[in-house]
Amino acid sequence: MQNFMEEGLELSLKESLKRIQEGILTGTSYFGIPALKCPLDAWVYQEIITRQRPDVILEIGNAYGGSTLFFAHLLDLLGHGRVIGIDISHENIAEIVKKHPRIHLMEGNACQLNDQVYTLIEQDEQVLVIEDSSHTFENTLNILRLYSGLVKPGGYFIVEDTICHHGLVTSPELGPYEAVESFLKEDPTFFPDRELEHFFITWNPKGFLKKRSNG
């Protein structure tokens, strides 16, 4: 399939987003491992991680492990931090991910593992949480409620794929975007840091949630 930019300059934004999504799902990898992330968002994650130097990156939803390894390699470069990866199953995770010394994988439902996760994190550690699991409204909202307490003032809780039905027509219709809106009504200590959407195209509109420094 021809996919040259010059041939797509007349595409609408809606059509362009669909084309990018196809590339993410079928052709995006990191270190040879599928990484189901918008590359523009991955660059923003790098900016956050480099600036904040978190002690822990908690990634909920790991798929093949491409993004998990990406985070671990960033921490390698910084010489600090570790990644906790949670998913229902890690049978598709590449061996290089499983063997990386900064990565700790946990299998199971994140909503049921929260007590175990909290025991792995010291009270004074800075945690970056990235939610990328089932994308349903109820599950996303539950994860926000359960894990937002790990985020320190000035830190981030990133909810991925809020673009569902807010740029891309993908199921479920009520999903991460609506969960974010409900959570923000419950917890005013967080706000969407929309300055992090500086590439204009993002798969996480209103999903970069920052905890207020005076919260």
Which pLDDT band holds residue 166 (cuts at 50, 70, 90)?
Answer: confident
Domains and their CATH numbers in the chain: 5-211 (3.40.50.150)
How far from 74 is each of 43, 49, 82, 113, 165, CA to CA, in Å? Answer: 11, 8, 10, 26, 31
Model confidence over 34-80: pLDDT tens digits? 999 999 999 999 999 999 999 999 999 999 999 999 999 999 999 99
Query: Residue 195 has which token pair?
Result: 């300055």
Q: What is the per-residue pLDDT for 168? A: 83
Q: What is the per-residue pLDDT for 114? A: 96
How far from 144 is each of 20, 91, 130, 137, 169, CA to CA, in Å? Answer: 27, 26, 10, 11, 23
Q: What is the per-residue pLDDT for 45? A: 98
- Give the pTM: 0.93
